[in-house]
Amino acid sequence: MSHNIRVVIVDDHPLFREGVANTLLVEPDIEIVSQGDSAEEAIRLACDLLPNIMLLDIDVPGGGLNAAKAIATACPVTKIMILTVSDEEEHLIAALRLGVRAYILKGVAGRELVRILRAVAAGEVYVSPTLAARLLLEMAGALPGARLQASPVDVLTERECQILQGVAAGLSNKAIGQQLYLSEQTVKHYVTNILQKLHVHNRVEAALLAVKSPELFD
From 94, 127, 160, the end of a domain falls on 127
- pTM exceeds cut of 0.85: no
pLDDT at 203: 86
The better pLDDT of the pair 87, 30 is held by 30
**What domain count does the chain have?**
2
3-state SS string for the chain: CCCCEEEEEECCCHHHHHHHHHHHHCCCCEEEEEEECCHHHHHHHHHHHCCCEEEECCCCCCCHHHHHHHHHHHCCCCEEEEEECCCCHHHHHHHHHCCCCEEEECCCCHHHHHHHHHHHHCCCCEECHHHHHHHHHHHHHCCCCHHHCCCCCCCCCHHHHHHHHHHHCCCCHHHHHHHHCCCHHHHHHHHHHHHHHHCCCCHHHHHHHHCCCHHHHC
Please tell me which of 117-131, 150-164, 172-186 the model is most confident about, judged by mean pLDDT: 172-186
185 in the same domain as 117: no
The better pLDDT of the pair 205, 85 is held by 85
β-strand pairing of 5-10 with 30-36: parallel
Q: What is the CATH number of the domain that holds 147?
A: 3.40.50.2300
Q: Are 157 and 189 contacting, i.e. CB atoms less than 8 angstroms apart? A: no
pLDDT at 114: 95
93 in the same domain as 59: yes
25 in the same domain as 119: yes
Domain that holds residue 189: 134-217
Q: What average pLDDT does range 5-14 have in this prediction?
A: 96
39 in the same domain as 20: yes
From 127, 146, 170, the end of a domain falls on 127
From 101, 127, 153, the end of a domain falls on 127
Interatomic CA distance for residues 209 and 59, integer angstroms: 30
138 in the same domain as 123: no
149 in the same domain as 69: no
pLDDT at 62: 96
Q: What average pLDDT does range 13-34 have in this prediction?
A: 95
